[in-house]
Structure 1
């Protein structure tokens, strides 16, 4: 749904995207409404437990509504890109300048991500790349290369990323029985998976091993060992899938289809993604938002 510009100088707005963005930001700003703290006073209440689960991050596996905030932003980046790219192309903007603008925007996003990770208490920059701004920046240039490529190419890239990511984790050796998980920041049994799923254990997986090498290449006060939340730099690779899905949704909304056909496409695509998540999440790969599992 969009509204007329009302002026030749104002761009057309996608009201549904603006509403989605606003609701997501409002939910994030609420900090969970303090419901998680209230729920602690009612440990035997199923109602309060349900609210707590959906207004706080999952310990490791699974996820509730609160865990959908970052994926929502990533999805919206893809949707917005479909519209902004179309507008810039319609204006006849130089493609080389557009690409340089994209690279610059990606750099700024990553830099802002590092700035926010550093905060005001650290004496030197903290080079962490797992927050939403840095993750968007790391994948943004790759995302722009898929604009207008067609759904077959876009789905092909999604499949390639999903298979490559899963394979990298699955082929990484599982931590041995003598592993001191407390030394890796693990405080709950829920963060230690058994069997094949142990390839996705918190701070003992492929992406964690990468960060233990990569982040120590940057100047730091002390060597990087683990992220206390289990988030990893390489999350930007599978999260690119979410942004591509947003791009596909945006291009669908920009198409010549009728409103009914567009809605049908969105519902069908959402149903397929949900079904795939349910199947893979109970068979070959645990659903872990903090690793952005495929």
Structure 2
């Protein structure tokens, strides 16, 4: 069976990769445009939108991939094995790249970009294969609400609840204990990891936003109607994120619920 590709998704993926190459290789690190650097903590720049875009793309592509495999005769068991294999491969590649070239096992970073992609892909895949669009929407909102409540209400020993700083936040506390000595060396604070455990929860929601968009792109509406509603939805979510920023700062390091919007 010949697979039809979604040109818009390929274009977005290509643009995201080009953006990644630009921010990772700006030419001279002594003179870098502010938008080609990550926000130091709260706020966002062009660079901070690259990784979320990749996770969003994973979600969109997932809906097309799963539908194609089901049409070719794959059952859920085969899909589960496909998901597990892909998850393990991507995760291990991330760890291998983190250790290159020295591979000091005592300090090798365990979390990472590819590791987060693998975990988010795995969790989102299970949700997609076992729920409908309505349930997936509920999962998306619930994950964002759960994360918000966790970082605001769960007290961190010695710091209390609701700390939204590199040191003292729930994200920092969990990662510094679980991955002691194996976190990102250039993080805002020792022990903190921008691809850590707790902040993976809203990252799954980012993938699910892509999944819901994938469903919409496969609906029977015209291309013009799809584009119009996606543009309108994008504006609404930008405004929602700015409003939520009042109570929960937009922060890519912690992948706050407001930043997902």
Q: What's the TM-score once normalised by structure 2's chain length?
A: 0.86
Residues 173, 274 of structure 1: alpha-carbon distance in 2 compared, 3 angstrom cutoff: same
Contact 2:137/2:212 (CA < 8 Å) preserved in 1?
Answer: no
Q: How does 1:186-265 map to 2 (within 5 A)?
A: 199-216=163-180, 223-224=181-182, 228-229=186-187, 230=192, 231=194, 232-265=196-229
Residues 174, 235 of structure 1: alpha-carbon distance in 2 compared, 3 angstrom cutoff: closer
Matched, 1:142 2:123: yes
> Hey, what does 1:67 align to over in structure 2?
48
Deviations 1:21-47 (A, max 9, x none): 1111112112353376335xxxxxxxx
> Hey, what does 1:57 align to over in structure 2?
38
Deviations 1:209-266 (A, max 9, x none): 11122224xxxxxx45875324123322111111101111111111111112211221
Matched, 1:279 2:236: no
> Hey, what does 1:22 align to over in structure 2?
14
Can you give the 5+ residue segments of structure 2 that lack an aligned partner in the other structure?
Answer: none
Matched, 1:119 2:83: no
Aligned residues: 248
Q: Counterparts of 1:278 and 1:70 in 2: how far apart (Å)?
A: 20
Residue from 126, 142, 155 that aligns with 1:173: 155
Larger mean CA deviation between 26-35 and 272-281 belongs to 26-35
> Hey, what does 1:46 align to over in structure 2?
none
Residues 263, 150 of structure 1: alpha-carbon distance in 2 compared, 3 angstrom cutoff: farther
Contact 2:110/2:183 (CA < 8 Å) preserved in 1?
Answer: no
Residue from 21, 25, 38 that aligns with 2:31: 38
Q: Counterparts of 1:18 and 1:74 in 2: how far apart (Å)?
A: 14
Contact 1:106/1:140 (CA < 8 Å) preserved in 2?
Answer: yes
> Hey, what does 2:251 align to over in structure 1?
288
Residue from 81, 86, 94 that aligns with 2:62: 81
RMSD of aligned C-alpha atoms? 2.4
Q: Counterparts of 1:273 and 1:151 in 2: how far apart (Å)?
A: 19
Query: 1:270 offset after TM fit, Å?
Result: 1.3
Q: Counterparts of 2:185 and 2:250 in 1: how far apart (Å)?
A: 19
> Hey, what does 1:48 align to over in structure 2?
none
Query: 1:67 offset after TM fit, Å?
Result: 0.9
Q: Counterparts of 1:37 and 1:63 in 2: how far apart (Å)?
A: 21
Q: Counterparts of 1:249 and 1:136 in 2: how far apart (Å)?
A: 18
Deviations 1:76-132 (A, max 9, x none): 000110110110011111220111110121111111111111121233272421x22
Contact 1:36/1:55 (CA < 8 Å) preserved in 2?
Answer: no
Query: 1:147 offset after TM fit, Å?
Result: 2.6
Residues 201, 174 of structure 1: alpha-carbon distance in 2 compared, 3 angstrom cutoff: farther
Q: Counterparts of 2:185 and 2:157 in 1: how far apart (Å)?
A: 17
Query: 1:174 offset after TM fit, Å?
Result: 6.2
Q: Counterparts of 2:135 and 2:67 in 1: how far apart (Å)?
A: 18
Q: What's the TM-score once normalised by structure 1's chain length?
A: 0.77
Deviations 1:30-78 (A, max 9, x none): 2353376335xxxxxxxxxxxx221111101111111111001000000
